[in-house]
Structure 1
């Protein structure tokens, strides 16, 4: 079986609708995929309908953007949680609202130096989507200011840029606790992706494990080889699941569906550990 547990649609910063994404997964000969849009479950229903049409298994999920007390970005994949859980939904809504105000402030700063306004960015955001820097990057590309998202993030949208604005994100330990309380399975996404910026300290890993972390996304293109070995050892020593995924974003990133996959026995354990919602596994 080919199982990819990390993909994004245009409900967050992917470039395909949930239905088109599922069709692409079928074309890539995936047996099972997870939809893990940033801070949103709005694509679940459409993805499920398409999964039934194409005969692709679907694990509904979400990717929660977190931040440690030291300002280190942590992404937490959340699978099969209750999408209506009040406590988790409140925290996610708070983060989404912060993302919106942050994007508006960044565009204000950018407009001082570039021919860019909020309408330009809004044109790249699907209705109800979780807005983020990738949408600003798409507007910069459309305006001819940069050639692609990678160039935008390497220069104009980097966290070291004068245009950058930080935003609220929950502490990863709190996020793990909320996911578990919502019946979901929390898995640390691309946890040693040092090329993206600072990575979490070993102490953060252990704090998250103590809070109920159940897995580590080990096989991901942004985790270096040495880091993957460290993650495998950490997982073995703490009884954690290890997953592999593409982090596919359509045309938004070079990542390909199924470039890393998860073992079927890991999927079985993940599904068995969840109680918030159900996977579709034809």
Structure 2
């Protein structure tokens, strides 16, 4: 098989706007031969995506995105776990991470109420419609209630780091996250390292540490990386024998802060085969 793939996407099972089936349909429409379903802290969308992929002829790569604490500093580091197999330990840790997300959401709502806004967590949950509640749902509520004019303004003024209601999230440690993915039979990959706030000089130092803990790959091709950054990351990956992956971090229509599905990605199907080998 040959053709383009996108290995980093999100559905309504976390903070995306398309259902797993809708996302696979969109991948088919755009001519992708494979798409990775990597929702935050859940494998809940994989089964539906698999069924849609079987019908539509799109290979679905199962995965999960886990936010972890970096080895040092106060940034947030994201791991992608591909081809993990469901098990009690994995589900327990993902459930804890989802609980941490909810605790954070509640604290954010408290902060916003303290700023004089008339909102409640019940309203946010209704807006989410049963999906995993995240900051994007809070942002949508702020727009609907007229406190901000746009999704982007909600994050800049209130929800993103430095915003008036920003609240850090409890996370697993980076080594713990890598070990969890490995023990679940998966392939741990460092997602969008530059987007996480690391400059090129820092990336190599952090990457060295992550590799020493079992990291198997790095996301090189993303809409956030410049051509110069891509070449730098490719060089680092090849030097360490890492799998070079890529993805848009697509969250669906209306999520302009994230990439468009499959757009300008140079990720060949061979990458899927490399992930299967581990």
Partner of 1:4, secondary structure, is: strand
Q: For 1:126-149, what per-residue CA distance to the aligned partner results, in whole angstroms no more than 9, with x for missing partners?
A: 42x332211211211222222332
Structure 2 matches for 1:204-223, cutoff 5 A? 204-223=206-225
Partners of 1:137 and 1:54 in 2: how far apart? 34
Give 1:266 shift. Answer: 1.9
Corresponding residue for residue 167 of structure 2: 165
Corresponding residue for residue 45 of structure 1: 47
TM-score by length of 2: 0.91
Corresponding residue for residue 100 of structure 2: 98
Give 1:201 shift. Answer: 5.0
Structure 2 matches for 1:65-214, cutoff 5 A? 65-68=67-70, 69-84=72-87, 86-112=88-114, 113-127=116-130, 129-193=131-195, 197=197, 202-214=204-216
Distance 1:198 1:7, change over 3 A: same
Gaps in structure 2 of 5+ consecutive residues? none
Partners of 1:261 and 1:75 in 2: how far apart? 21
Distance 1:258 1:97, change over 3 A: same
Partner of 2:67, secondary structure, is: strand
Distance 1:88 1:187, change over 3 A: same
Partners of 1:201 and 1:247 in 2: how far apart? 19
Partners of 1:14 and 1:192 in 2: how far apart? 22
Partner of 2:253, secondary structure, is: helix
Q: For 1:230-249, what per-residue CA distance to the aligned partner results, in whole angstroms no more than 9, with x for missing partners?
A: 21111011001111211111
Partner of 1:251, secondary structure, is: coil
Corresponding residue for residue 256 of structure 1: 260
Give 1:6 shift. Answer: 0.6
Corresponding residue for residue 276 of structure 2: 271
Stretch moving more, 243-252 or 86-95: 86-95
Partners of 1:213 and 1:70 in 2: how far apart? 19
Q: For 1:163-201, what per-residue CA distance to the aligned partner results, in whole angstroms no more than 9, with x for missing partners?
A: 1111211112221111111110111110111xx545665
Gaps in structure 1 of 5+ consecutive residues? 274-282
Aligned length: 269
Partner of 2:179, secondary structure, is: helix
Partner of 2:127, secondary structure, is: coil
TM-score by length of 1: 0.89
Partner of 1:156, secondary structure, is: helix
Give 1:67 shift. Answer: 1.4
